[in-house]
């Protein structure tokens, strides 16, 4: 990996982290005087869902490991959904 590719990769992941932090309500604790706990949980939930989506995409483009990618992807999306339900205090079943 060349230096330019490493810089682009780090910028890409930095952009995703900032975008997810803003999406999960980064400014809400500062306005309401709360803590950043829910923002951190929100960013983690979004990254788990993103990883699941990437794995589902890889399942659609791969011929040899389609079942593995699809199983892992759907599992990560389900885990993300369970995290959201747990965070909001709703019953799982």
Q: What is the 3-state secondary structure (H, E, C) of the chain?
A: CCHHHHHHHHHHHHHHHHHHHHHCCCCHHHHHCCCCHHHHHHHHHHHHHHHHHHHHHHHHHCCCCHHHHHHHHHHHHHHHHHHHHHHHCCCCC
In a domain, 81, yes or no: yes
In a domain, 43, yes or no: yes
Q: What is the pTM of this model?
A: 0.79
**pLDDT tens-place string over residues 3-59:** 788 899 889 888 988 898 888 888 888 888 878 888 889 899 999 999 999 999 999
Domain region containing 60: 3-88
In a domain, 77, yes or no: yes
In a domain, 93, yes or no: no
The per-residue pLDDT for 81 is 94
User: How many distinct structural domains can be found in the chain?
Assistant: 1
């Amino acid at each position: 990996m060349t230096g330019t590719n490493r810089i682009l990769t780090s910028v890409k992941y930095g952009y995703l982290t900032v975008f997810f932090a803003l999406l999960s309500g980064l400014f809400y604790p500062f306005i309401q005087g709360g803590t950043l706990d829910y923002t951190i949980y929100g960013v983690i939930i979004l990254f788990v869902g993103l990883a699941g989506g990437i794995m589902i995409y890889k399942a659609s483009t791969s011929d040899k490991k389609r079942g593995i990618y699809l199983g892992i992807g759907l599992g990560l999306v389900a885990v993300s959904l369970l995290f959201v339900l747990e965070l909001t205090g709703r019953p799982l079943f």
